[in-house]
A and B are shown apart, each in its own frame.
Chain A
Amino acid sequence: NAGVMQNPRHLVRRRGQEARLRCSPMKGHSHVYWYRQLPEEGLKFMVYLQKENIIDESGMPKERFSAEFPKEGPSILRIQQVVRGDSAAYFCASSLTGGYYGYTFGSGTRLTVV
């Protein structure tokens, strides 16, 4: 069991470019969550998805950020026109059901905007 796979591990983008972060959940998990961690802070919830559906996006910034979890393939977190303030670690987690028995986190993508 490969766990939650995220790629890339590190991503450098210039201001104004697009960033695409990928997350493949654990085998058999159909619930995916994205969190953002700023330096020296805890994780902040962004979005919760199931296959082809966004369940809760209350933590997503209103502009430039979007997420999807298609029927086939990984979940994608997309950040358009990145700014320096987007620099952070982005973690994906997955769960078998709604997370009652816990969540498994991926290794994260560290995004640096220069």
Chain B
Amino acid sequence: ELKVEQNPLFLSMQEGKNYTIYCNYSTTSDRLYWYRQDPGKSLESLFVLLSNGAVKQEGRLMASLDTKARLSTLHITAAVHDLSATYFCAVPSGNAGNMLTFGGGTRLMVKP
């Protein structure tokens, strides 16, 4: 059974600082997805990583995928308050690889 673990589960940081969120998964996968969720809201797609070594950047966020290590990272550069949210990674699973198994989420709070 696929397990997806994120750490840290909670992250409080000052504006302007850098930090990395880690996503480990237990079985082979060549794809991984990152989502953002604001309180009471839906999931917003951030990154779709489709191969080993994939790196994508959008603003202050950068995501990478190492399929051999079964690890993805979401790096935050010079955090701002607007980045405060919960971040989830998700890995395809199921017989056809069409369902997603989510990590438990990382709740990020960026303090002014």
Residues of B within 8 A of A105 (CB): 35, 42-45
Interface residues on B, range: 20 to 34
In residues 35-52 of chain B, which contact A (Cβ within 8 Å)? 35, 40-45, 48, 50
**Chain B: which residue is nearest A45 at the CB level?**
B99
* Complex: A89 Cα to B102 Cα, angstroms: 15
Q: Which residues of B contact A102 (CB under 8 A)?
A: 33, 45, 48
A56–B48 CB distance below 8 A = no
Contact across chains for B100 and A55 when beta carbons are under 8 A apart = no
* CB-based contact B42/A101 at 8 Å: no
What are the residues of chain B within 8 A of A43 when measuring CB–CB?
A: 43, 88, 90, 100, 102
Residues in chain A near residue B88, CB distance under 8 A: 42-43
In A94-108, the 8 Å CB interface with B consists of: 95, 98-108
B31, A100: Cβ atoms closer than 8 Å: yes
Verify if A72 is at the interface (C-beta below 8 Å from B). no
Tell whether A69 is near chain B: CB-to-CB under 8 Å. Answer: no
A35 to B45, CA, bound (A): 15
- State the 7 A-B residue pairs at the shortest beta-carbon distance, nearest first: A42-B102, A45-B99, A105-B43, A107-B42, A102-B48, A98-B98, A43-B102
Q: Which residues of B are at the interface with A, using a C-beta cutoff of 8 A?
A: 31, 33, 35, 40-45, 48, 50, 88, 90, 92-105
Binding site for B on A (CB under 8 A): 31, 33, 35, 41-45, 48, 55-56, 58-59, 91, 95, 98-108, 110
